[in-house]
Amino acid sequence: MASVVFLRGANVGGKNVFRPARLAASLSHLDAVNVGAAGTFVIRGKASAATIRHELAQRLPFECHVAIRPAKDIVALLRDDPFAGVKFSRGLRGWVAVLGGKPKIFPTLPLMFPQGQRWSVRFDRIEGQFAIGLWQPPKSGGFVFPSNAVEEVLGVPATTRFWETFGRIAAVLESSDGTGVDKNERRSQ
């Protein structure tokens, strides 16, 4: 079964800088595909999460939290279409934070950061290992990134990607076999 890897805090603000395409090339034996510049990879080859973590630790020039989700979880999230009916624009984007553990707290949602009419991050819901919400560029000051809000509220590491990245992940999965699930595994299901 394919897996999707999300690195937390990579290539952000000049810190934890690396070249994702080079890393993916060095993981060609795992059939790795780079998706963007933030440290998102589809691993199409058979490999356990432990193997993927080990391979990344050997190649990355820094330590970071690594979230690994089975491709079927990503496909299910896309099928659920958590942003149905939302019209995205430059002023409104959807985000998904991949959680690095079970939340320590389950707050009443939605929450807004900063609170009030001029929120930057709206945290709407939790679906399995994903926190989901909306982001709008701050009008002035008050910049909050979704990962920071999710980590503060839930007490677990989180790494965020905007919804369009999940569309690119889906395209990579579809280019392999359409589901991200190994064909032999599909036959046995």
> Domain residue spans in the chain?
3-76, 82-165
pLDDT level of residue 51 (50, 70, 90 thresholds): very high
4-13 pLDDT, tens per residue? 999 998 877 7
Tokens of 79: 């099928």
Residues 6+ apart with CB under 8 A from 148: 113
CB 170 within 8 A of CB 176: no
Domain 3-76: CATH class, spelled out: alpha beta
The pTM score is 0.88
Tokens of 152: 């503060």
pLDDT level of residue 173 (50, 70, 90 thresholds): very high
Tokens of 56: 């990344």
- Indicate the burial class of 102 (C-beta count within 10 angstroms; 0-12, 13-18, 19 or more): exposed
- How far, rounded to the nearest angstrom, does the alpha carbon of residue 36 sit from its chain's CA centroid? 12
